[in-house]
């Protein structure tokens, strides 16, 4: 699980803004649930919710945050109905082990942001 500071550095590097409030909001429930907090906001529904509060930049920051933690951005139903993810939001049986090669993360994040641009 990436630390708040690491999430902020990712956003600064990829978006030109640390997006501290967004990264804080994303992990706010870790105080209550510890590393199992991701079910609440680490999915596309959480990205949309952030967008209502922080706009397009916030949506991008949330997606980057989730990508770093989970290896992808799940749908809300992946947690609940489909149970495609484990308790940390990683694909069940997937290859992501929770750690990113820095170059690979940046490349994957840039592709994600590019896809998001086409959806706006």
Whole-angstrom Cα distance, residue 35 to residue 19?
Answer: 21
DSSP state of 97: -
What is the residue range of 20's domain?
Answer: 4-119
Q: For residue 109, what are its two tokens?
A: 């994040």
Backbone angles phi, psi at 91, to 5 degrees: -55, 130
Angle at 100 between CA 94 and CA 106, to 5 degrees: 115
Residue with tokens 């770093």: 68
At 67-85, the pLDDT tens digits run 999 999 999 888 877 778 8
Helices 44-70/102-119 angle, 10° precision: 160
At 2-14, the pLDDT tens digits run 899 999 999 999 9
Whole-angstrom Cα distance, residue 7 to residue 21?
Answer: 11
The domain tally of the chain equals 1
Query: Residue 100 has what pLDDT?
Result: 93
Using the predicted structure, report yes or no on whether residue 120 has a pLDDT greater than 90: no
Residues 6+ apart with CB under 8 A from 102: none
Query: Residue 104 has what pLDDT?
Result: 95
CB 45 within 8 A of CB 73: no
């Amino acid at each position: 699980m990436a630390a708040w500071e690491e999430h902020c550095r990712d956003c600064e590097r990829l978006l030109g803004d640390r997006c501290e409030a967004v990264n804080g909001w994303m992990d706010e429930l870790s105080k209550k649930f510890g590393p199992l907090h991701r079910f609440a906001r680490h999915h596309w529904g959480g990205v949309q919710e952030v967008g209502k509060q922080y706009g397009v930049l916030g949506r991008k920051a949330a997606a980057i945050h989730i990508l770093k933690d989970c290896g992808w951005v799940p749908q809300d139903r992946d947690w609940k109905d489909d149970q495609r993810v484990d308790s940390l939001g990683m694909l069940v049986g997937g290859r992501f082990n929770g750690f990113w090669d820095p170059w690979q993360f940046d490349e994957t994040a840039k592709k994600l942001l590019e896809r998001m641009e086409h959806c706006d």
